[in-house]
């Protein structure tokens, strides 16, 4: 379809939403409920809150450092501070935390069964292309950064 500078076809949040929609459809067709209690409620909202805070932290840092938040854009600089010290993809990690929080609140096994496919889709459909672009733009600096910081955690 329409590939951009990074080669990404779908916006990353859309990938997560599509997998949640598939999980919802599967739950509707073949219900596989998981037990829920007060702890799953608190942990679910805690994961969503942590994801939103991590996303805001990373996004605001990117704006402050005047580089693009847009996965289709061309980064102006390599960020190695803030949440980028612990993850090369803190916004995608945040998306995953939010996905897991929603999965806990739903109380269905389907989102958990689809989680490996979500991560694989993000890695192959988004992250690999972004890493290729970052390697072209920042060369050895980016390679050294990759040696110090893991892709997810």
Judged by average pLDDT, the poorest of 5-14, 20-29, 67-76, 119-128 is 5-14
Q: Grade residue 2 by pLDDT with cuts at 50, 70 and 90.
A: very low
Q: What is the pTM of this model?
A: 0.92
pLDDT of 6 strictly over 90: no
Structure token digits, residue 36: 């829920």
Q: Grade residue 73 by pLDDT with cuts at 50, 70 and 90.
A: confident
User: Which tens digits make up the pLDDT trace of 9-53?
Assistant: 789 999 999 999 999 999 999 999 999 999 999 999 999 999 999
Share of residues in the chain with pLDDT > 70 (%): 95
Mean pLDDT of 94-119: 98
The predicted structure's pLDDT at residue 72: 82
């Amino acid at each position: 379809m329409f590939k951009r500078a990074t080669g990404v076809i779908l916006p990353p949040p859309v990938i997560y939403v599509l997998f949640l929609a598939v999980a919802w459809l599967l739950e509707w067709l073949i219900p596989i409920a998981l037990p829920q209690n007060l702890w799953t409620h608190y942990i679910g909202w805690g994961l969503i809150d942590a994801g939103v805070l991590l996303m805001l932290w990373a996004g605001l840092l990117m704006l402050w450092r005047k580089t693009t938040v847009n996965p289709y854009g061309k980064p102006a600089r390599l960020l190695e501070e803030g949440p980028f010290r612990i993850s090369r993809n803190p916004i995608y990690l945040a998306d995953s935390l939010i996905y897991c929080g929603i999965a806990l609140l739903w109380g269905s096994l389907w989102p958990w069964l689809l989680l490996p496919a979500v991560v694989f889709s993000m890695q192959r459909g988004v992250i690999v292309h972004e890493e290729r672009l970052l390697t072209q733009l920042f060369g050895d600096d980016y390679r050294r950064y990759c040696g110090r910081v893991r892709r997810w955690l």
